[in-house]
Amino acid sequence: MVADDLRFVIKSCVGEDNVIEMTPNKSNNYCCGGGGGFLQSGFTDARRQYGKTKFNQIMETGADYVVTGCHNCHAQVHDIGHHFGAHYNTVHIWTLICLSLGILGPNERAYLGDDLRDVDVFHPETALY
């Protein structure tokens, strides 16, 4: 099952103890509200109200990082975090994989928080910012 495969990858990157599941999860999880065209529909208030369910779920975990599966989810989870005043970071799985392999350059870290931005930087001399 692909959900378990992805959990295996994330646990391998950050360590089993650092992975916190949301409740409910997998097929029983709540949609973040970015999909189905909602992000482009113009119904911004409704989209954020929808996203509050996911936001509450994220806050319950107390996690510092949320891994999202696609661009729609990334944009929505990032937006509701900002909108509702949380401080979690929203990342793609490729960022975690490359960080854990020590091959994540300084310009590939747009979504890492301050705690990880300077950790194990690959070719730090190429930093543009």
Partner 1 sequence: MSESTIKIKGKKESTFLDKAKGIVPEGGNLNLCLTCGACASGCPATGLEDMDPRKFLRMVCMGLDEQAVKSPWVWMCTMCQRCIYVCPMKIDIPQLVFNARAEWPREERPSGIMKSCDMALRNDSNSAMGTAPDDFVFVVEDVLAEYQESQPEFKDMQAPVDKEGAFFFLNQNSREPVTEPDEMVPLWKILHLAGVDWTYGSKGWAAENYCLFLADNQCWERVTRVSANQADELGCKVFLNTE
By CB under 8 A, the count of residues binding partner 1 is 41
Residue reference for tokens 């089993």 = 16
> For partner 1, which stretch binds (CB under 8 A), given 13-21, 25-33, 60-68, 81-89?
25-33
Taking residues 89 to 128 in sequence order and writing x for each that binds partner 1 by CB under 8 A, - otherwise, the string is ---x-xx-xx--x-xxx-xx-x-----------xx--x--
| H helix and E strand count, the chain | 5, 2
CB 58 within 8 A of CB 86: yes
Under the binding rule (CB under 8 A), the answer on residue 43 touching partner 1 is yes
Q: What amino acid occupies position 52? A: K
Q: Does 42 bind partner 1 (CB under 8 A)?
A: yes
Residue (of 92, 95, 88, 86) closest to 122 by Cα position: 95
- C-beta of 17 vs 129, nearer to partner 1: 129
Dihedral angle of Cα 74, 78, 79, 80, to the nearest 10 degrees: 110
Is residue 15 close enough to count as binding partner 1 by CB under 8 A? no
- Least Cβ distance, residue 72 to partner 1 (angstroms): 7
